[in-house]
Chains A and B, each alone.
Chain A
Amino acid sequence: MARIVVITSGKGGVGKTTTSAAIATGLALRGHRTAVIDFDVGLRNLDLIMGCERRVVYDFVNVINGDANLKQALIRDKRVDNLYILPASQTRDKDALTQDGVERVLNELSEDFDFIVCDSPAGIERGALMAAYFADEAIVVTNPEVSSVRDSDRILGILASKTRKVEQGGEPIEGKLLLTRYSAERAERGEMLSIEDVGEILAIELLGVIPESQAVLNASNAGQPVVLDEESDAGQAYQDAVDRFLGEERPLRFVDVPKKGFFGRLFKG
């Protein structure tokens, strides 16, 4: 049985796909058989971030409709063993993701994989609801910015009520917070919500903090999940988040402002 993890946020552009690619790759690097699925029907992008856009033949909706089987549609990552990508369809049909169809695909994947990472689209429409419905766990990607925090809280409300687990009388799934695009300098100057501020408002467990970093754009430019950039701050922060997700303790890194010397403090505002 696989653990199904949804990467969600409500708001667009906060780093769901970057996070899905990084977490899935990180899990596979640790030897777990991992499939990552793009639920953003009509706006496929996980393939680009993973660098396999030219290898897409069949997609998620083809598998649901029986036009292809899973083996044909899954793209095996060329860099990391145990990592497979199921791309979204580019159809404009909003109802293409049926609940039965999604369940069938997830059940079949569950037999072969340890982890299924579901990259949710933005918003609270069908794709987002389907990505969350079957999840066992959730990672809520949030930027330290008002609209992102508010939307994350809304998504937490959906996770608490609209999942298979809850409908079957189980415990609601608790989202874990991944704070991305964080700038310790700006937070210290009082220009950006701090980790503590966001934590206090959302009141959920903190999975990790990813610093605002040039490495993330470099990674997406190249189609390389950012965890593969081992030198980079963002890559290392994602690696820590994956370790914490697997139950290990890791101290937060890249969240403190480098200390200035006495003269630096005196003369630089």
Chain B
Amino acid sequence: MSFDNALGAIAEDNDEARWAFGTGFHDPLAGVDTAVPDGVDRGDLASYCLMLGDDALIMSHRLQEWCTHAPELEEEVALANVALDLLGQARLLLARAGVAEDAVEEARRGEDDLAFFRDAAEFRNVRLTEVPNGDFAHSIVRLLLFSTWRLALLDRLRASRDPVLAAIAAKGVKEVAYHRDHAALWTIRLGDGTDFSHARAQRAVDELWPLTGELFGVHDVERRMADAGVGVDPSGVRAEFDAVTSEVLATATLRAPEPEPPRLAGRSGDHTPALADLLAEMQSVARAHPGATW
């Protein structure tokens, strides 16, 4: 390829080298057996996939809301990347839920049926993902707490007996590690930045921390899936979560509140009113045209 003539370079046909990163795209489920493994309860698997999928979908939505409002253009790109990754995870997980809940292919709900035609009480995301955005510090601290927890879960989920969940987790681990890193870097810059940014970051920690108890409550479905070697017991990732968050917060000169007792809320469909508001927006177009294809 010629380096002195840019136009010539794009006009050269069939030259793979002109694409800096190639044109092949990786399918995370390529070569993976998508049949539900023997002995795995389909209903539980579907519910479990909805939990992890809804976490990603709702968290992605809150990050999408930053679009055109980010504090700097570079951060616009970064937040959109995180939102895209989580949206990708949500799509794979909701699709898996649809496969699991119905053995008959024709009757299955697809990712869009599950995203756009369930009501708030049917969503299984933790509340941490659904509370409205505050300022940038609020979103960064939320991302730190969420991705620290999710990375610990996905890391263990790579050993799932369900090969699809294992593959989704393997892809997700790389992505969420990046998200956690991004959130940690920003938490440190806000916490150890100006007095003003420190106060905002501490306020975000104090506001969001009460929602972390829910990250370690164990729903019956999670317990059964963990026992079956398919899912991860969230109570088991607490030590990692505490270690990572306390280190980041300390570096950021922020105070970590006392650990919250585990509890259940979103996992049982018990949500704040913010989720219904969020869904009213997210589902508005899809529900105005039932049966339509987009």
Are A and B a genuine interacting pair, yes or no? no
